[in-house]
Structure 1
């Protein structure tokens, strides 16, 4: 990077202090975010290649020999209930192809299990802990650090600060001279601290758009900001729900941190309720538990008749007003489908598809599929894996750069540079992002207060020392 004049003399003392404050925030925030970015990249890499890893690790559970006659969904469910009479079955995944197993999700003795069934012979192929398997654990760690709501908020805070750091980093390393060396390309002849600085700056510069894409698409799934964003932008015609009994819950309640059931676009739609009186109209004599067994094949047939592609799940009714929910969170979001059926009559209460999504919802769903490496198959997976590696390198190189530039014998912030004429604009952008992402804004105010208090404490100690 070419040299720049020292701007210190031209600035009032208070303004330099403001720069110093921003400089400290940038580095401290980086140290806070780096562990999260490393964790998110590693767990993201694991989940990114879920299809390939599943085939390698669980082939005996997923693959079955093709036979002449397949058992109905109701027969399969009956066999599962016979094998686990005390369990509550919550979900059913029909076979996706002729040589694939059926899957049930059930709770038994306080443990959630994935049960795999041969749909031809009815033989139970085996079970898997629904949480403590590689993919589910990686996804839950990626989503909430395995600690629920608090973890979700920490992930959201780290992602928000990651966005702030990317944007402010662009200002920090923007070219200030005619040469692009060290900014647009690394100075390969450099050594030591300068070599690390160039690699960190150049990869950050060229990868900033990708980093922002990953962070922003990930933010849409967070529990606070993502929910507010969805509520503001995901709107469906009110007429779709005029004649539909509602449960008082949202469809998003079907999602968990370890498993995505319904698409982001429909999370804020009402979750319909079943009408117990329908048991005497269409399927007389069936109580709620009996109807769960007698209508599952009807739900499968309805999904096929309505063109829902294989790969969907069926969430079974929970309680007297629960509904069957068919959900396809498709690799190509244009094939997304969310259907809710009355558990007594089998009537379709709601059917939401891609054409019902608004522009923002379509954009977000497309971005999420790119984020997860699903939209363009293996090419998308490899590209997103390279982005994860980029994030890992940026995180590690930033940590190394801080370590090499830290004050001698201290873990503090590197000395302040005074050749940053655009830094005031960067601070403005940071403050705007603080408003856009409330958790970031709240933490920004908290850090500012703590920094002022620590500054006052240091000055008081200095005064006391000089007087002594």
Structure 2
């Protein structure tokens, strides 16, 4: 049986309802989407920008040999006394190594070191660089957890914008190319902005949707839920990591501050301290500054070379007596990801080395999406393709705001009024499912629906309110 066709009134009510959802979604997320697209565009070209702004810290004269990793760390600590937590080794001989140092006073530093000579080239506070600022803004708007929630809500509502936008774009009065498939720039006023808005949205909806979907795994609420789902279904982090799920273990991201997405919630192993009391650091000495720990990095580097690891990797030093050396590669193409834990005392691997092939389906898909999202996977073409939705978001937001501003009554919000008889049961079911899958979005749906009802109620009361008649002083006689 086919569903009965909509009456003209039902079609109008359906269109007006979709328009109201599109309006509210745009009103909620427009400023955040502008910020995300700007900071995302900056971060797409993070290497190019850092090379241009800090060439003296990024480039070195290539050398046939490299000094030991411990010497690079020691040089960084000599220049900036404090605690070394991590070193990123370079992919090519003409690039510097970066030692992460928490100095005794001041903000954390990233210290650039020439791997050929061990000479310190300089340092930066990452959050005070252009790329660092864009990174922090893109993650949390510099507002901590509250900012992360706002960004997650904006991403969820952006999906509503995309779906309702496609429905509104779908022609009701016949197909035409100009203003639908390509911008019509000859119009004036609101018509000009509408004929720009629709085609740009049509041709970029897939790319914008891809950015949103691949960004949600990093979200503060949706991300951990995906991790739990992947772990429960066996499609997330590798089963070999489950052996470290002991009460004392800490998730990898929480322990290190950085990890491949698939392994963020993977429980960290611990070094065996039995028989190693003589290797404990002296009282008042931070563990990563202990000579035994720093010297151990050379043994770890030798172990990696023997295993055929690439030259570029991230090596995290143990931060407590039972901590471990953690090392992983994070190449532009995630198929090359490798992770290894090394006991800080025996300097032997703990467990099996984990590679991309060991990830579950969800882990593989997310890691691939992450690298495409950041423009890393396919070099410059990838960057340029991901730049398109960033520009499109600005175009769509500006044109959408312009259309609203030109049509709204003076002094009023100008939300599209509701019409009764809209048949949107399928869309409501889809929204309910999305609200369950994305709990933060579900909570916002309830809030927005309540606000919408309140606005409609107040508007209706104003329309029904009788006009007062002003009676002059002489009207009594």
Please classify the TM superposition score into its range, dividing by the shorter chain length.
0.7 to 0.9
Equivalent in the alignment of 2:336: 335
Equivalent in the alignment of 1:228: 225
- After TM superposition, the structure 1 = structure 2 runs for residues 39-438 of structure 1, keeping only pairs within 5 Å, are 39-67=35-63, 69-85=65-81, 87-108=82-103, 109-181=105-177, 182-233=179-230, 234-236=235-237, 238-242=239-243, 247-254=248-255, 256=257, 261-277=258-274, 279=276, 285=279, 287=281, 289-350=290-351, 351-414=353-416, 425-438=426-439
- CA distance in 2 between counterparts of 1:63 and 1:278 reads 44
CA deviation after TM superposition for structure 1 residue 6, in Å: 7.9
Partner of 1:276, secondary structure, is coil
- CA distance in 1 between counterparts of 2:348 and 2:74 reads 22
Equivalent in the alignment of 2:472: none
Per-residue Cα deviation, 1:1-46 (whole angstroms, up to 9, x for no partner): xxxx9833x69xxx95x97666434312202211111111111111
Partner of 1:295, secondary structure, is helix
Partner of 2:325, secondary structure, is strand
**Residue 243 and residue 406 in structure 1: after superposition, are their counterparts in 2 closer, same or farther (change >3 A)?**
closer
Checking the alignment, whether the CA contact within 8 Å between 2:185 and 2:196 is kept in structure 1 is: no
RMSD: 2.9
Equivalent in the alignment of 2:448: 447
CA deviation after TM superposition for structure 1 residue 448, in Å: 1.7
- CA distance in 2 between counterparts of 1:200 and 1:72 reads 57
**Residue 422 and residue 366 in structure 1: after superposition, are their counterparts in 2 closer, same or farther (change >3 A)?**
farther
Partner of 2:218, secondary structure, is coil
- CA distance in 1 between counterparts of 2:80 and 2:215 reads 37
- CA distance in 2 between counterparts of 1:409 and 1:201 reads 27
Checking the alignment, whether the CA contact within 8 Å between 1:262 and 1:328 is kept in structure 2 is: no
- CA distance in 1 between counterparts of 2:94 and 2:338 reads 24
Checking the alignment, whether the CA contact within 8 Å between 1:153 and 1:223 is kept in structure 2 is: yes
- CA distance in 2 between counterparts of 1:107 and 1:34 reads 37
Checking the alignment, whether the CA contact within 8 Å between 1:405 and 1:414 is kept in structure 2 is: no
- CA distance in 1 between counterparts of 2:187 and 2:354 reads 57
Please report the TM-score for the alignment, with normalisation by the length of structure 2.
Answer: 0.86
- CA distance in 2 between counterparts of 1:147 and 1:403 reads 30
CA deviation after TM superposition for structure 1 residue 327, in Å: 1.9
- CA distance in 1 between counterparts of 2:429 and 2:334 reads 37
**Residue 244 and residue 409 in structure 1: after superposition, are their counterparts in 2 closer, same or farther (change >3 A)?**
closer
Equivalent in the alignment of 1:33: 29
- CA distance in 2 between counterparts of 1:194 and 1:425 reads 31
CA deviation after TM superposition for structure 1 residue 410, in Å: 2.4
CA deviation after TM superposition for structure 1 residue 422, in Å: 7.3
**Residue 413 and residue 169 in structure 1: after superposition, are their counterparts in 2 closer, same or farther (change >3 A)?**
same
**Residue 244 and residue 432 in structure 1: after superposition, are their counterparts in 2 closer, same or farther (change >3 A)?**
closer
Partner of 2:111, secondary structure, is strand
| Bigger mean CA offset, 286-295 vs 432-441 | 286-295
Checking the alignment, whether the CA contact within 8 Å between 2:180 and 2:199 is kept in structure 1 is: yes
CA deviation after TM superposition for structure 1 residue 291, in Å: 2.6
| Bigger mean CA offset, 176-185 vs 217-226 | 176-185
- CA distance in 1 between counterparts of 2:224 and 2:279 reads 41
| Bigger mean CA offset, 142-151 vs 422-431 | 422-431
| Bigger mean CA offset, 144-153 vs 184-193 | 184-193
CA deviation after TM superposition for structure 1 residue 83, in Å: 2.9
CA deviation after TM superposition for structure 1 residue 49, in Å: 0.6
Please report the TM-score for the alignment, with normalisation by the length of structure 1.
Answer: 0.87
- CA distance in 2 between counterparts of 1:88 and 1:180 reads 65
**Residue 189 and residue 111 in structure 1: after superposition, are their counterparts in 2 closer, same or farther (change >3 A)?**
closer
Partner of 1:274, secondary structure, is coil
Partner of 1:272, secondary structure, is coil
**Residue 400 and residue 428 in structure 1: after superposition, are their counterparts in 2 closer, same or farther (change >3 A)?**
farther
| Bigger mean CA offset, 231-240 vs 31-40 | 231-240
Checking the alignment, whether the CA contact within 8 Å between 1:114 and 1:128 is kept in structure 2 is: yes
| Bigger mean CA offset, 235-244 vs 352-361 | 235-244
